[in-house]
Amino acid sequence: MSRIAFIGLGAMGSRMATRLLQAGHQVTVTNRTLTAAEPLSQLGASIASSPAEAARDADVVIAMVRDDEASRSIWTNSDHGALSTMNRSAIAVDMSTLTPEWTRELNVACHAVGISFVEAPVVGTRPHAENGALTVLAAGGQEVVEGLESIFSAFSSTTHFMGDVGSAAVTKLAVNSMFAIQVAALSDVLGMMGRSGISLEKSADVLSSMATASPAANFIAGRITAGVRDPNFPVELVAKDLDYAAKTVERQGGSNDQIQAALRAFEAALDSGFGGEDIGSVSRMNLDGLRS
C-alpha cells in the first residue's frame, strides 16, 4: 500500500480520499479549511496543516481542487506548496479540471525539481466517486501512469491513457462541454414545449424516449422534472469549465460557437443565484414560471 498525500477535500476529493483509506492506503489529507479533514481523520487519515506538510515523505501526492489558481497555490507556493517538500522519488498527480496550459506549466515545474508529474482529471459525479466508478483520463509518462493503477482503482473503474501532458485536460474539458451543451439545449427545448402547453413531465418523457436522447441528458431530464437542485455538478463549476474550454479553443484558433452559447446560458444561471445548484438548474430561467 502507498503513502498518499491528498490535497483538496471538496465534494469529490473527500469521497476519493475515503475510497483510498478503505482500500488500505496510508493517507494524509489537507484542505484549505481544515475542518473538512475531520471526518477523514475518523477513518484513519492523518491531517496536515498545509500541502507542504502533507507531501513530506509521501510516495504519491494527489490534488483535487477547484481551478488553476488553487492548483498553482497548492503545488508551487514558496511558503506552503507541495513541491517544496516532496521526495524526488515521489509522483505528483493533479486530478482537478484544469486548463491544458497550466498542466503543461506544472509538468515543467515538477520536472525542474526531478519529480514525475501525471495529470489525471476524472469523469463522474459524487455517486461515481462514492462507488469507485469514476473514469480517469491520464496523461504523462505511460509507465508512471500504469504504476498508479492500484491507486486509481480505489475510486475508478476505467483509466484512459491520453498521451502527453495537456491531452487529458483537453479531453476532460471536451467531455464536460458536451455534457453542458446538451443540458443547455434541453433547457431550451423543454421551455419551448412548456410554453406550448405541454407538461414538463410529458415533455421529458417523450424526449427521453427518442433516438436523439443521450443517457446523460435523460438523467438530467429526470432531475429537472423532479425539481432536484442538490448538486452533483454545480452550475458554478460548469461555467468555469466552459470558460476554460472556450479559451482553449480560442488559443487554438478554432470555432467555439456552441461552447460559447452554453457558457452564456450557465453564466445567466450563475447571475440568477443558481451557482450552488445542480447543472439542471440552468433550466430554471425557462421553466420556473411554467411549473404547476
The residues pairing with 122 across neighbouring beta strands, listed in sequence order, are 136
Kindly tell me the sign of the dihedral angle through the C-alpha atoms of 173, 267, 180, 216: positive
For residues 197 and 173, the answer to whether their CB atoms sit within 8 Å is: no
Percent composition of the chain: helix, strand, coil (DSSP 3-state, to 5): 55, 15, 30
Residue 243 φ/ψ, nearest 5 degrees: -65, -45
Every domain of the chain and the residues it spans: 3-164, 170-287
Mean pLDDT for the stretch of residues 110-125: 97
For residues 235 and 270, the answer to whether their CB atoms sit within 8 Å is: yes
Condensed to tens digits (0 to 9), the pLDDT of residues 78-109 reads 999 999 999 999 999 999 999 999 999 999 99
Structure confidence at residue 291 (pLDDT): 65
Q: In the CATH scheme, what is the code of domain 3-164?
A: 3.40.50.720
Mean pLDDT for the stretch of residues 234-250: 98
Mean pLDDT score across all residues of the chain: 96
User: Which among 85, 285, 131 has a CA at the least distance from the CA of 195?
Assistant: 285
Looking at the predicted structure, is the pLDDT value of residue 292 above 70? no
Q: Which amino acid is at 128?
A: H
Condensed to tens digits (0 to 9), the pLDDT of residues 163-222 reads 999 999 999 999 999 999 999 999 999 999 999 999 999 999 999 999 999 999 999 999
In the chain, % of residues over pLDDT 70 = 99
Q: Do domains 3-164 and 170-287 have the same CATH topology?
A: no
Looking at the predicted structure, is the pLDDT value of residue 10 above 80? yes
Distance CA 211, CA 242 (A): 26
Q: What Rg, from alpha-carbon coordinates, does the chain have?
A: 20
The C-alpha cell 427518442 sits at 210
Structure confidence at residue 289 (pLDDT): 78
Q: Which pLDDT band holds residue 55 (cuts at 50, 70, 90)?
A: very high
Looking at the predicted structure, is the pLDDT value of residue 1 above 80? no
> How many other C-beta atoms lie within 10 A of the C-beta of residue 173?
25
Q: Domain 170-287 - what CATH class?
A: mainly alpha
Distance CA 253, CA 269 (A): 28
Condensed to tens digits (0 to 9), the pLDDT of residues 121-141 reads 999 999 999 999 999 999 999
In the chain, % of residues over pLDDT 90 = 97
Mean pLDDT for the stretch of residues 6-24: 97
User: Which among 106, 165, 158 has a CA at the least distance from the CA of 140?
Assistant: 165
